[in-house]
Amino acid sequence: MRIRIAAPIALAAATALAGSLLATAAPATAAAHQGGLHFGAVQFDGPGKDDRSQKSLNAEWVNIHNNSKKKVQLKGFKVKDNTGYTYTFGSYTIGAGKTVKLRTGKGKNVSGTVHWNRGSYVWNNTGDKARLIKPNGKLQDSCSWGKSTKANKGAKNCH
């Protein structure tokens, strides 16, 4: 008889504990990027040989994601690396829940992709830090990484 009574009590206690753990874990995850804009990923070492071709330069990129429920005008936002290379957004609106990819090389800007128009690489394969800076100069988000390895394949998920 004790076993039958103890099992339902233990099950109820475990269920309550699991529910409270889930309840406390969810807000922490949701609060990680409450500012709306954040880095999603960086491809700091594009696949293939680093030969400064447009294909190679454009294989290096950073994604900026808007997780808010409103579109955001990016005019004046800056993306910077540790060296001080800086890209400043012109008039570009990123929709709610959308991502824009900033490619290092040259190309035509289209919806979802803009180009830095550089003839040399920005992101260091041995480690660097991308910074997203608001027009007022305050840091919105950052993403850093170490040396490129076979495991990370020259990419970093930032969230």
14 pLDDT exceeds 70? no
| DSSP secondary structure string for all residues of 54-70 | HHHHHT-EEEEEE-SSS
Share of the chain above pLDDT 90, in %: 72
Q: How far apart are CA 154 and CA 125, in angstroms?
A: 7
Q: Measured between alpha carbons, how far is 42 from 157 in angstroms, rounded to an integer?
A: 7
Contact between residue 62 and residue 41 where contact means Cβ atoms under 8 Å apart: yes
**How buried is 54 (Cβ within 10 angstroms: 0-12 exposed, 13-18 middle, 19+ buried)?**
middle
User: Lowest mean pLDDT: which of 16-20, 26-30, 38-42, 60-64?
Assistant: 26-30
For 61-117, how does the pLDDT look when each residue is reduced to its tens digit (9 = 90+)?
999 999 999 999 999 999 999 999 999 999 999 999 999 999 999 999 999 999 999
Q: How many residues comprise the chain? A: 159
Q: How many CB atoms lie within 10 A of CB 118?
A: 16
For the chain, give the mean pLDDT: 84
Sign of CA dihedral 25, 31, 36, 41: negative
pLDDT score for 19: 43
